[in-house]
Amino acid sequence: MGLTFTSFEFIFFLGVCLGLLHASGRLSVRTWLLIIFSYLFYLTFGVGGMLVVTITAIVDFIVGRRLGNSLGEGTRKRWLWAGLAANLGPLVCFKYSGFLVEIIAAFLHPLGVRVSLPSHPVLTIIGLSYFSFAGISYVLDVYWERIEPARRLPEFLCYLMYFPKLTAGPIVRAADFLPQFSQGFKITAQDFEIGCGYLLVGAVKKLVIADQLASHVSMIMAAPEHFNAWTLVQGMIGYTVQIYADFSGYTDMAIGCARLMGIRFPQNFLMPYSSVNIAEFWRRWHVTLSTWFRDYLFLPLEMGSRGIRNANFRVARNMIITMLLCGLWHGASWNFVLWGGLHGVALAAYQIYATGRPPQVRRGTGSAFHPGTLGARALTLSVVMVGWILFGTQTLTLAFKYLWRMATWSSDGVALESPYILPLTALMLVAHLIINKDRNLIEELSTYSPTARVLTYASLLLALALLVPSDTVPFAYVRF
């Protein structure tokens, strides 16, 4: 369903788009070309979503202009609530309505009242959470006077509809996108090489790593009662690698597409599995989402609860609330809510622990192979992997069954030996241990010698030619 970054159709689509963009001299022409191509891209996922994002963009633009012109605080607040409603309304209607009905039905059932649930969503909108959050951040930033409102509707429409980020992010804020856009599409030879590098690395992550793992991992996650404990452990670590390779691969390709047009996206993954604590993990995993929740939910909660004297209790409460909503953002399911709650409790526990430790202890030793650092990494990764069980299974019943069979080390069931899970996990682990987690090798590669660059690009192309499985699967985060 729809164009995917790894399809030959998308490569053709991107090539035509780039050709026309760089052949056009005027910014207004390029703007309309990008709008047209964004609509064509999104049209492959259905007409309904295209209408929703268009209406949302128009309302956000009007709200932004009114917030910029209105002097009275009461009037500004009314426009702010109108903008938030325009962005949250589609989320509640199309993504969470069934979940809300399910909760209401559970409360009414003991009273003898039965509520029938719809078998399918009224309308499935790809990327709804992403463009809704982009719109919310714009409205709030204008209200807080962090940015000036967009001056032209086509420019703002292009921001919200921009196809490289439309379906699965990263969540690019207007403050980062619009200034670049207004300067035109200035691209150098280095930008072109780096953009192609991102596309190649992202394709390898997705097709060579994530999709090779997908068949065995999905089989294990779907029916944990059929497999023994060792196989379930393999499924857990396999999913840990798969979700990272899949989503960071998508992000790399989105960054690469934008870079080929002269637009720079923020980094979204910074070697998260090398983190020594859960707070650092969330500074490195899905960075644009975690910073969004920090800036637009956690910090306002902190400001609004300054009357609570116990700072640890206040921060812990606000962290848990933030992460519960972060879990719910991922989907209308108790699995996601519990996943967010687990991370919220872990963050709160670490916050309480860290406040009583000296700064040098919190920073660690600086050596990746120091026993204390390795132990901290193992503890952090254990919490993350347990969370992925909640995230990757379809129901809470399956998740608890999965965790229970591992915890009791059940020996009954099928022993599945995957030829991909352990080797690819070892490869990922070594990469996270030996590569400096603050470096970006894709950006740096363009500064290396021609020989090193040619060999690297040739190796990536060879991996794509030889190791791509026959069956590919959709990007995981597109459904959010």
pLDDT at 476: 80
Which pLDDT band holds residue 356 (cuts at 50, 70, 90)? Answer: confident
pLDDT at 360: 55
pLDDT at 299: 93
Mean predicted confidence (pLDDT) in 322-338: 93
| pLDDT greater than 70 at residue 382 | yes
What does the domain layout of the chain look like in residue ranges? Answer: 8-186, 191-473
Mean predicted confidence (pLDDT) in 267-290: 94
What percentage of the chain has pLDDT greater than the value 90?
59
Across 5-42, b (16+ Cβ under 10 Å) vs e yields bbeeebeebbeebbeebeeeeeeeebbebbbebbeebb
Cis peptide leading into residue 170 (ω within 30°) = yes
pLDDT at 370: 72
| pLDDT greater than 60 at residue 365 | no
Amino acid identity for residue 318 in this structure:
N
pLDDT at 310: 83
Query: 355: exposed, middle or buried (C-beta count within 10 Å: 0-12, 13-18, 19+)?
Result: exposed
pLDDT at 449: 93
pLDDT at 47: 79
Q: Taking CA 254 as the corner, what is the angle to CA 91 and CA 178, rounded to the nearest 5 degrees?
A: 75
Which pLDDT band holds residue 23 (cuts at 50, 70, 90)? Answer: confident
pLDDT at 11: 93
Whole-angstrom Cα distance, residue 471 to residue 451? 34
| pLDDT greater than 80 at residue 358 | no
Mean predicted confidence (pLDDT) in 21-48: 87
Write the pLDDT tens digit of every residue in 462-480.
Answer: 999 998 888 778 788 776 6
Write the pLDDT tens digit of every residue in 405-435.
Answer: 999 998 898 898 888 888 988 888 888 878 8
Write the pLDDT tens digit of every residue in 104-127.
Answer: 777 776 777 776 655 455 567 888
51 in Cβ contact with 64 (< 8 Å)? no
Which pLDDT band holds residue 387 (cuts at 50, 70, 90)? Answer: very high
Report the chain's mean pLDDT, rounded to a whole number: 88
pLDDT at 361: 53
Write the pLDDT tens digit of every residue in 195-240.
Answer: 999 999 999 999 999 999 998 999 999 999 999 999 999 999 999 9
Mean predicted confidence (pLDDT) in 394-411: 93
pLDDT at 121: 56
Which DSSP string do the residues of 169-222 spell out, in sequence order?
A: -----HHHHHHHHHT-----HHHHHHHHHHHHHHHIIIIIIIHHHHHHHHHHHH
pLDDT at 347: 96
330 is catalytic: yes
| pLDDT greater than 60 at residue 85 | yes
pLDDT at 275: 92
pLDDT at 390: 96
Write the pLDDT tens digit of every residue in 35-58.
Answer: 999 999 988 887 777 888 899 999
263 in Cβ contact with 198 (< 8 Å)? no
Q: Single out the catalytic residue among 286, 330, 343, 432.
A: 330
pTM of this prediction exceeds 0.85: yes
Write the pLDDT tens digit of every residue in 129-172.
Answer: 898 999 999 999 999 999 999 989 999 999 999 999 988 889 99
